[in-house]
Amino acid sequence: MNDPWLEPLTREACLDLLRHGTVGRIALVVDQGPIILPVNYRLVDAPSGPLIALRTRPGNVIEQAPESVAFEIDGVDQAGHEGWSVLVRGELLHATPNSPEFAEIHDPDSWLADRNAWLLIDPWAISGRRLHGQETLWHYRPGEYV
């Protein structure tokens, strides 16, 4: 049987995919239970290492999140034959416009000027997989990621 899990992505490949994406999903556990939310994000290449910057509205449920979160981006081609996924696990930080981390977010787009809160994810694990072949069997194999 074709084993689709043939190509783990290098850290650099994961960072490159993160660098080019704009929408991802954050997963966290709040009082109401587990949630996954799509969010706009940017990868910030800070001197201390890569950070995921999330745009969120003040008061959004994400802001009350506990510190440990997961963040994921993925893609599947139209035919469903090629796919990839990157998983980031990290700590959630709050960034104010005066903070050094915020200064690293170079964003010419206007929505940065909105009165939105910024959250940063400081990764402690980045992993990814590329899926090839005619059978895209994304079996549930968390062992590939952790």
In this chain, which stretch among 7-15, 34-42, 47-55, 94-102 interacts with another protein, using CB under 8 A? 34-42
Residue 1 binding another protein, by CB under 8 A: yes
**Of residues 46 and 70, the one with the C-beta less far from another protein:** 70
Q: Which of 13, 16, 83, 116 binds another protein (CB under 8 A)?
A: 83
Tokens at residue 31, please? 């009082």
Residue 13 binding another protein, by CB under 8 A: no
Q: Which of 82, 93, 116, 145 binds another protein (CB under 8 A)?
A: 145
> Could you tell me the smallest distance in angstroms from the CB atom of residue 90 to another protein?
10
**Of residues 29 and 103, the one with the C-beta less far from another protein:** 29
Torsional sign, CA 85, 41, 92, 51: positive
How far apart, in whole angstroms, are the C-alpha atoms of residue 113 and residue 144? 39
Q: Which of 46, 70, 93, 112 binds another protein (CB under 8 A)?
A: 70
86 touches 63 (CB < 8 A): no
Phi, psi angles (nearest 5°) of residue 10? -70, 165
Residues 6+ apart with CB under 8 A from 139: 4
Residues 99-128 that bind another protein (CB under 8 A): none
The residue written with tokens 């090839």 in the block is 132
Tokens at residue 44, please? 């910030």
Q: Which of 12, 20, 31, 33 binds another protein (CB under 8 A)?
A: 33
CB count, 10 Å around CB of 101? 18
Separation of CA 135 from chain center? 26
Binding residues vs another protein (CB under 8 A): 1, 22-23, 25, 27-29, 33-38, 68-72, 74, 76, 80, 83, 85, 87, 89, 135-143, 145-146
